[in-house]
Amino acid sequence: MTVSIPTLTTERLTLRAPMMEDFAPYAAFCASPRSAGVGGPYSQTQSFTRLAALIGHWQLRGYGRWMVTDTATSEPLGVVGLFFPVGWPEPEIAWSVFDAGEGRGIAYEAALASRAYAYETLGWTTAVSCVLPDNTRSVALAERLGAVREGSFTHTDYGEMPIYRHPGPEAA
């Protein structure tokens, strides 16, 4: 089965399939301290494998994370979407923002679009976001999205991670 990665648009953003042209900005993010929230920093080789995994997740799960770009300029600003790797307690809405997207509400806008896709297209009735406890900006974003802390789980690579439960489709 081959899954086609849909394209979503918001007022300012295009959420689309990752492409090779995204590698340089993605690798720069992965090599930076910003990637600590997702287990980084990573080498160029590891960054390529991670970029390929973004596409592979769509093929394995039927959903995944999009490359988020500025609609006006096509500049890659981050990776946001639906994520459910082995070892996770349940599917989540995940986000990583590149330097160019910082402080612009990019993750919020893209996460809302991702959540709407999960609820309206995939029929999800719930979603979580798993955030490293010291990632205060992601904790604040989860709360801004209406998610409420609901315990935690221990991941073999990342350690203890708080779980934030998003409002269901009827409340979102």
- Please say whether the beta carbons of 87 and 154 come within 8 A: no
Fold of 8-124: Aminopeptidase (3.40.630)
pLDDT at 36: 87
Element housing 40 (H / E): none
Distance CA(42)–CA(29), nearest Å, equals: 9
pLDDT at 125: 97
> Residue ranges per domain, the chain?
8-124
pLDDT at 65: 98
- Please say whether the beta carbons of 101 and 111 come within 8 A: no
From first to last of its 172 residues, the chain has per-residue pLDDT tens of 688 999 999 999 999 999 999 999 999 999 999 998 888 999 999 999 999 999 999 999 999 999 999 999 999 999 999 999 999 999 999 999 999 999 999 999 999 999 999 999 999 999 999 998 888 999 999 999 999 999 999 988 888 999 999 999 998 7
